[in-house]
Chain A
Amino acid sequence: MAGIIGYGAYIPRYRIKVEEIAKIWGADAPNYKRGLGLEEKSVPGPDQDTITMSVEAAKKALRRAGIDPREIGAVYVGSESHPYAVKPSGTVLAEAIGATPDVHSASFEFACKAGTEAMFVCLCQVESGRIKYGLAVGADTSQGAPGDALEYSTAAGAAAFIFGRDHVVAQVDETYSFMTDTPDFWRREYQHYPRHAGRFTGEPAYFKHIRGAAQGIMKKAGLQPKDFHYVVFHQPNGKFPLNVGRQLGFTREQIETGRLVPKLGNTYSGSSPMGLTAVLDVARPGDRILLVSYGSGAGSDAFIFTVTGRIDEVRDKAEHTRALLDGHKVYIDYGTYAKYRGKILKAE
């Protein structure tokens, strides 16, 4: 059976606290923190982008997979902040890890579920036998408009997964996708910041699709929430994954390991994939994991994984995601943040 044979994550070192952003806009920081279930978020340095983070996450995945990168048949990066509008992030990534030239690539886009789309397609290619190994990355350096609610949560990070049939670390038991046309959050071409429809982004968007995908996959697999050791949901803020988990019948313990958002922020296409890496860092052989992403527009991809005995051999071959999150942090102020994120620009 096919599945994940190597995984890795990357988080930039910089952080900004909710208080620091709230101070600038005259917002009530304690209320925001409570309402969003969020304390701080990661900020990419001025020399970092979706491509650079993908490369570092992919290198860790390669260390854990222990394969020759030349045997990778497809490299897909899912993001809503690809550095180029035309020229796939995967070309640079594939070149950097030495997977070229016998390799497929394309950029994936579906708001925050571009990463899990890339994972699904790699899985299918491996299962079909067309490729031996496939590398899928979910990465973003998401942007929120100054003063908008999203500014508190939009963060940066990457998670990379190598799929294959041999040396599997987490086999894929089932997949399912639930998608409708729902205009909750979007960005038109040439616009710098996305727009959203306020409270409409909740129940008719996030909650409906996550529930649809979770219930759909559990029905397909004949499983119930109690059959899972871990569940990882897309994490736009600290509250939504807890609420949808409660609605579906999952416990807080099942959700907590993969819920990175309170200290990380929403890494968009990296969100649920990074949560998955944090779970793999501590999961035991035999543990069953449910992963449900969400991308505005809208849809959710669901995967059911079963961890194999090989996890114990590979998990320590690269830094654990929680260690990346909690270690080496550098806090910056709003001015530095605005400069790094290009919100203030010098005159030409």
Chain B
Amino acid sequence: MANPARYWREIPQRYRLEAGKCRTCGTVFFPPRLVCAQCRSRSFETVRLSDEGTLVTYTVIRVGPSQFADQTPYAVGIVELDGGVRITAQIVDCDFEKLAVGLRLRVEFRRIQKQGEAGILCYGYKCVPA
């Protein structure tokens, strides 16, 4: 799924949650963009998203894509990080029964995918209960 260049290009986002904040209207986009969807401005500064947030909605994947077949069942959710930006991420180290809208979470660095036994290792953000 991820060839080295495609994976590497997103590293500042995957590893450090780097986002783009519009210099004109202050809207933050993750990942960063070239043009602001709110005000059409093209000037941005780099900001880092918070590493704490709240669970907005979630599911437990029981039938997963081949890359993730060995990890099922696993929880995935939409997390609203403090500051307002939302991300999609796996929720780990959490009993499925404890998943609930409003759960406080923390971002942790984890391995997201492996490209088989000989391909690259792909890292990124997941969330754990705070």
Interface residues of A (CB under 8 A from B): 13, 45-49, 51-52, 55-56, 59, 83-84, 92, 95-96, 98, 328, 330, 339, 346
Q: Knowing A45-B93, A47-B92 touch, does A96 contact B109 (C-beta < 8 A)? A: yes
Q: Mark B89-130, 1 if CB is under 8 A from A, else 0.
A: 010110100000000000011111000000001010010000
B16: interface (CB < 8 Å) = yes
User: Which A residues are in CB contact (< 8 Å) with B121?
Assistant: 49, 51, 83-84
CB <8 Å contact, B16 and A47: no
Top 8 A-B pairs ranked by shortest CB distance?
A: A55-B109, A96-B15, A47-B110, A47-B111, A13-B93, A52-B110, A52-B109, A95-B15
Closest to A49 in B: B111
Looking at the assembled complex, report how far the CB atom of B3 sits from the nearest CB atom of chain A, in whole angstroms. Answer: 16
A-B contact pairs, 29 of them (CB 8 A): A13-B93, A45-B93, A45-B110, A47-B92, A47-B110, A47-B111, A47-B112, A47-B126, A49-B111, A49-B121, A51-B111, A51-B121, A52-B108, A52-B109, A52-B110, A52-B111, A52-B123, A55-B109, A56-B109, A59-B109, A83-B121, A92-B15, A92-B123, A95-B15, A96-B16, A98-B16, A328-B93, A330-B95, A339-B70
Q: Knowing A56-B108, A83-B121 touch, does A47 contact B15 (C-beta < 8 A)? A: no
B67: interface (CB < 8 Å) = no
Q: How far is the CA of A55 from the CA of B108 in the complex (A)?
A: 9
Query: 4 extra interchain contacts, Cβ-Cβ under 8 A, other than A46-B70, A83-B111, A98-B16?
Result: A52-B108, A52-B123, A92-B123, A96-B15
User: Which B residues are in CB contact (< 8 Å) with A84?
Assistant: 121
User: Which B residues are in CB contact (< 8 Å) with A13?
Assistant: 93
Count B-side interface residues using an 8 Å CB cutoff.
Answer: 17
User: Which A residues are in CB contact (< 8 Å) with B111?
Assistant: 47-49, 51-52, 83
Q: How far is the CA of A56 from the CA of B121 in the complex (A)?
A: 17
B71: interface (CB < 8 Å) = yes
Q: How far is the CA of A232 from the CA of B80 in the complex (A)?
A: 42
User: Which B residues are in CB contact (< 8 Å) with A48?
Assistant: 110-111
Looking at the assembled complex, report how far the CB atom of A139 sits from the nearest CB atom of chain B, in whole angstroms. Answer: 13
Q: Mark B10-29, 1 if CB is under 8 A from A, else 0.
A: 01000110000000000000
Q: How far is the CA of A223 from the CA of B110 in the complex (A)?
A: 43
CB <8 Å contact, A330 and B16: no
Instruction: Tell which of B11, B15, B92 touches A45, judged by Cβ atoms closer than 8 Å.
Output: B92
Q: How far is the CA of A173 from the CA of B92 in the complex (A)?
A: 42
Q: Knowing A48-B110, A56-B109 touch, does A95 contact B11 (C-beta < 8 A)? A: yes
Closest to B48 in A: A98
Instruction: Tell which of A51, A83, A95, A346 touches B70, judged by Cβ atoms closer than 8 Å.
Output: A346
User: Which A residues are in CB contact (< 8 Å) with B11?
Assistant: 95
Q: How far is the CA of A86 from the CA of B108 in the complex (A)?
A: 25
Q: How far is the CA of A346 from the CA of B92 in the complex (A)?
A: 23
Closest to A13 in B: B93
Q: How far is the CA of A339 from the CA of B71 in the complex (A)?
A: 10
Closest to A53 in B: B109
CB <8 Å contact, A46 and B71: yes
User: Which B residues are in CB contact (< 8 Å) with A55?
Assistant: 109
Looking at the assembled complex, report how far the CB atom of B75 sits from the nearest CB atom of chain A, in whole angstroms. Answer: 12
Closest to A346 in B: B70
User: Which A residues are in CB contact (< 8 Å) with B123?
Assistant: 51-52, 92, 96
User: Which A residues are in CB contact (< 8 Å) with B109?
Assistant: 52, 55-56, 59, 96
A-facing residues in B1-56 (Cβ within 8 Å): 11, 15-16
User: Which A residues are in CB contact (< 8 Å) with B93?
Assistant: 13, 45, 328, 330
Q: How far is the CA of A49 from the CA of B112 in the complex (A)?
A: 11
Interface centre among A13, A59, A96, A346 (most CB of B within 10 A): A96
Q: How far is the CA of A171 from the CA of B63 in the complex (A)?
A: 53
Looking at the assembled complex, report how far the CB atom of A72 sits from the nearest CB atom of chain B, in whole angstroms. Answer: 15
Closest to B90 in A: A47
User: Which B residues are in CB contact (< 8 Å) with A330?
Assistant: 93, 95
